[in-house]
Protein backbone atom coordinates (compact mmCIF):
# COMPACT_ATOMS: atom_id res chain seq x y z
CA UNK A 1 0.00 0.00 0.00
CA UNK A 2 2.86 2.36 0.80
CA UNK A 3 4.27 1.83 -2.71
CA UNK A 4 0.92 2.87 -4.21
CA UNK A 5 0.78 5.99 -2.00
CA UNK A 6 4.31 6.91 -3.09
CA UNK A 7 3.43 6.39 -6.75
CA UNK A 8 0.30 8.56 -6.51
CA UNK A 9 2.19 11.30 -4.65
CA UNK A 10 4.98 11.24 -7.22
CA UNK A 11 2.47 11.52 -10.09
CA UNK A 12 0.68 14.39 -8.33
CA UNK A 13 3.97 16.22 -7.75
CA UNK A 14 5.03 15.69 -11.38
CA UNK A 15 1.75 17.25 -12.52
CA UNK A 16 2.11 20.15 -10.10
CA UNK A 17 -0.93 19.18 -8.00
CA UNK A 18 -0.65 20.80 -4.60
CA UNK A 19 -4.13 21.67 -3.31
CA UNK A 20 -6.34 18.86 -1.94
CA UNK A 21 -9.21 20.27 -4.05
CA UNK A 22 -7.15 20.32 -7.23
CA UNK A 23 -7.71 16.61 -8.11
CA UNK A 24 -11.47 17.21 -8.03
CA UNK A 25 -11.25 20.17 -10.39
CA UNK A 26 -8.78 18.29 -12.58
CA UNK A 27 -11.20 15.36 -12.76
CA UNK A 28 -14.04 17.67 -13.84
CA UNK A 29 -11.82 19.22 -16.52
CA UNK A 30 -10.74 15.76 -17.62
CA UNK A 31 -14.34 14.57 -18.06
CA UNK A 32 -15.10 17.68 -20.11
CA UNK A 33 -12.07 16.89 -22.29
CA UNK A 34 -13.21 13.25 -22.57
CA UNK A 35 -16.49 14.29 -24.15
CA UNK A 36 -15.08 17.23 -26.16
CA UNK A 37 -12.21 15.36 -27.82
CA UNK A 38 -12.22 11.70 -26.73
CA UNK A 39 -9.32 10.61 -28.95
CA UNK A 40 -7.00 13.35 -27.71
CA UNK A 41 -8.09 12.61 -24.12
CA UNK A 42 -7.35 8.88 -24.51
CA UNK A 43 -4.01 9.52 -26.19
CA UNK A 44 -2.96 11.85 -23.36
CA UNK A 45 -3.95 9.31 -20.68
CA UNK A 46 -2.28 6.37 -22.38
CA UNK A 47 0.91 8.32 -23.11
CA UNK A 48 2.12 7.68 -19.57
CA UNK A 49 2.05 3.93 -20.12
CA UNK A 50 3.53 3.73 -23.61
CA UNK A 51 7.00 3.94 -25.06
CA UNK A 52 5.73 5.29 -28.39
CA UNK A 53 3.75 8.51 -27.93
CA UNK A 54 2.27 8.09 -31.41
CA UNK A 55 0.83 4.63 -30.66
CA UNK A 56 -2.92 4.71 -31.41
CA UNK A 57 -3.70 1.09 -30.53
CA UNK A 58 -6.96 0.82 -28.56
CA UNK A 59 -7.45 4.62 -28.32
CA UNK A 60 -11.08 4.49 -29.50
CA UNK A 61 -11.93 1.54 -27.24
CA UNK A 62 -10.29 3.22 -24.24
CA UNK A 63 -12.17 6.50 -24.75
CA UNK A 64 -15.47 4.70 -25.37
CA UNK A 65 -15.02 2.61 -22.22
CA UNK A 66 -14.51 5.70 -20.04
CA UNK A 67 -17.41 7.59 -21.62
CA UNK A 68 -19.69 4.62 -20.89
CA UNK A 69 -18.27 4.27 -17.38
CA UNK A 70 -18.86 7.95 -16.61
CA UNK A 71 -22.43 7.78 -17.95
CA UNK A 72 -23.18 4.65 -15.92
CA UNK A 73 -21.90 6.22 -12.69
CA UNK A 74 -23.77 9.45 -13.45
CA UNK A 75 -26.99 7.50 -14.04
CA UNK A 76 -26.51 5.51 -10.84
CA UNK A 77 -26.05 8.70 -8.82
CA UNK A 78 -28.99 10.46 -10.45
CA UNK A 79 -31.31 7.47 -10.02
CA UNK A 80 -30.60 7.24 -6.27
CA UNK A 81 -31.16 10.93 -5.60
CA UNK A 82 -34.95 10.82 -5.52
Tell me if 68 is assigned to some domain: yes
pLDDT band per the 50, 70, 90 thresholds, residue 82: low
pLDDT band per the 50, 70, 90 thresholds, residue 8: confident
Tell me if 6 is assigned to some domain: no
Tell me if 5 is assigned to some domain: no
Tell me if 7 is assigned to some domain: no
Tell me if 76 is assigned to some domain: yes
Give the tens place of pLDDT for each residue, 46-80.
988 888 878 888 999 999 999 999 999 999 999 99
The length of the chain is: 82
The angle formed by the CA atoms of residues 57, 58 and 59, to the nearest 5 degrees, is: 95
Give the tens place of pLDDT for each residue, 33-52.
999 999 999 999 998 888 88
Overall number of domains in the chain: 1
Domain that residue 48 falls in: 22-80
Q: How far apart are CA 33 and CA 51, in angstroms?
A: 23
Tell me if 45 is assigned to some domain: yes
Tell me if 16 is assigned to some domain: no
User: Residue 17: its pLDDT value, please?
Assistant: 74
User: Residue 48: its pLDDT value, please?
Assistant: 81
Amino acid sequence: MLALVCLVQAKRAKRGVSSPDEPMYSAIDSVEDLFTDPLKWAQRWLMEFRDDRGDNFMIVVFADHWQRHFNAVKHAIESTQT
